[in-house]
Structure 1
Amino acid sequence: MINNLATALDGRPPSPAGPIGRAERMLARIPAALPLAALRVALAVPFFRSGLTKWDGFLSLSPGARYLFTEEFRLHILGGAYPYPAPILAATLAGIGEIALPILLVLGLGTRFAALGILAMTAVIQLTVPEGWANFHLPWAAMALALLVYGGGTLSLDRVLGGAK
């Protein structure tokens, strides 16, 4: 009866007694804002670093980015490899997204929308580099999904400006 009551009050089953239970209760007291802030930064870093390589100055696409999107990158769909449609536009949008979305994530501003944008970019990257799913794309997608669901947390501008969670 007591166990069922404890589960009903906070939605979680009671932690076991003894040292494991004490450790579990101590870890459960970590504020959710800390892992959410860490997720925001961890997801932002690789995209921001990639975005920096796409530019040779303000809105001047680098020759490397132009070359990759026009000559190297292919979309792997249903067993075929297809060139990017409008590759310069795709490179420009990717470069803008890889700079702007990580900045928004770190600030915690429009976190859910920024995470959605990163998730969409991850899907396109998966289609472009299918062998990267286990080491890169899956963790990025998982981080983006967590931020979509939970938001930026209390250590975010979302919370400060609009009271979002």
Structure 2
Amino acid sequence: MKVVDQHIGAAERILRLGLLVNKAERLVRAIARPSLVQFVMRAALAVPFWKSGILKWDGFFQLSDTAVTLFTDEFMLHLPGGPYPFPAPTVMAFLSGCGEVTFPVLLVLGFGARFAALGLLFMTMIVELTVPDGWPIHLTWAAMALAIMAWGPGRISVDYWLKRVALEPRQR
């Protein structure tokens, strides 16, 4: 009889532990709502590009001399047989500055978010060719961009709102 009581006690403890784990999982899921996670991921990807982008401008469409100098003298493309200088460094600095400011804004707003993430994924690949030792952070940026491209911007986005407004009349 004593052995049976011990087995029941152990089973009851396991059941209580399982219930406790289940409650903890529900709490974690309540905090990490998918729409919140998608918004935070969009913001996290936007920040480093925005910070880099605003440094490339001296005013509205006024590219800084530093940005041009970086693409002319410092940045190199690390391709087989290289490194090679950037072609058309002023154009590259301008395009980089435009992308690093525009894509993050679109991403945070969630407006054309999948396309903005695609743009930042492409920029990440260029950055990886320019700074190959930065691959751990570049891999993180690529993973975030791919996740946004795959699962979209979530409910906290202009894209979600526009989709709802566009589909609403058809559902009546």
Q: Identify the TM-score tier after normalising by the shorter chain.
A: 0.7 to 0.9
Which whole-Å CA distance do the structure 2 matches of 1:149 and 1:26 have between them? 26
Q: Does 1:81 align with 2:76?
A: no
Which whole-Å CA distance do the structure 1 matches of 2:87 and 2:28 have between them? 49
Partner of 2:129: 127
Count of residues in Structure 1 that have an aligned counterpart in Structure 2: 148
The correspondence of residues 36-75 of structure 1 with structure 2, limited to 5 A, is 36-75=38-77
- Aligned-pair CA distance for 1:81: 0.2
Q: Which runs of at least 4 in structure 1 moved beyond 6 Å after TM superposition?
A: none
Larger proportion of helix: 2
Partner of 1:95: 97
Which whole-Å CA distance do the structure 2 matches of 1:145 and 1:121 have between them? 13
What SS is found at the alignment partner of 2:60?
coil
- Aligned-pair CA distance for 1:19: 1.8
Matched AA of 1:131 = D
Partner of 1:20: 21
- Aligned-pair CA distance for 1:119: 0.4
Matched AA of 2:123 = M
TM-score normalised over the length of structure 2:
0.82
Matched AA of 1:117 = G
- Aligned-pair CA distance for 1:21: 2.5
Per-residue Cα deviation, 1:60-96 (whole angstroms, up to 9, x for no partner): 1101001000111000012520111111111100000
Per-residue Cα deviation, 1:43-65 (whole angstroms, up to 9, x for no partner): 11110110000001111110100
What SS is found at the alignment partner of 1:17?
helix
Partner of 2:141: 140
What SS is found at the alignment partner of 1:152?
coil
Partner of 1:13: none
Which whole-Å CA distance do the structure 2 matches of 1:127 and 1:159 have between them? 34
Q: Which moved more, 1:98-107 or 1:22-31?
A: 22-31
Provide structure 1 residue ranges, at least 5 long, that are not aligned to the other structure.
Answer: 1-15
Identity of aligned residues (%): 52
Partner of 2:11: none
Q: RMSD between aligned alpha carbons?
A: 1.5
- Aligned-pair CA distance for 1:22: 2.3
TM-score normalised over the length of structure 1:
0.85
Answer with 1 or 2: which has the greater Rg. Answer: 2
